[in-house]
Amino acid sequence: MPFDAGIKKSVTGVILAGGRALRMGGRDKGLIELGGKPLVEYVITGLQPQVAEIIINANRNRKRYATYGYPIIADMIDGYFGPLAGIASAMRAAKTPYISTAPCDSPFIPSDLVERLYRGIKEKGAEIGVPHNGERLQPVFALLDRNLLSSVVAYLERGERKIDRWYEQHRLAVVDFSDQPDTFVNVNTPEEAEAIECKLMHTRQS
């Protein structure tokens, strides 16, 4: 099916960089350099061709992230409530009908991520599209209808934070990405960072 340029115009890309990264010793994962540049730059490069605009959700190092030239928004609820807090903030800030989220530490974003999630939503009459890599759902990579803002805010205000539990309350399209299972890897530990850096260097050489 040929690419529909209207999909890009309908979507704002959201880079989620608001976490505390406790397993990485509190380092801001988006600013960790692998293969000679910060991880967030790989995510920007992957998302930018697929979306109308980009927003970066960051609670720390906001001036550093601002050097990339995109709007920087903090979580609308204090206390590090996880990715849903960033999603809620992005829904409030975006101007397009949909947002597409990706974590700041995933350098191999599929080049057709947004298009496939969008088509999955439309085909199934869903409100949220989430990829499945053949083994498990990848819930932080998602396409979401901005009309869900009031729902996610109410969920967070009740003290809830689990993203999959909120997804279960809405029409969800699970989109098969088993043909690209390794594109959803991200950095949670120093060992994973080392493995991803090796893969980045191999990709450059091939």
Number of domains in the chain: 1
pLDDT at 36: 87
Give pTM, 2 decimals.
0.90
* pLDDT tens profile 106-164: 999 999 999 999 999 999 999 999 999 999 999 999 999 999 999 999 999 999 999 99
Per-residue pLDDT, 204: 57
Q: Which residues are 54's β-sheet partners?
A: 13
Domain that holds residue 123: 5-205
Which pLDDT value is given to residue 119? 97
**Predicted local distance difference test score (pLDDT) of residue 22:** 45
pLDDT, residue 80, reads 66
Listed as ranges, residues in the chain with pLDDT below 50 are 1-2, 22
So what's the pLDDT on residue 16?
96
What's the CATH code of the domain at 43?
A: 3.90.550.10
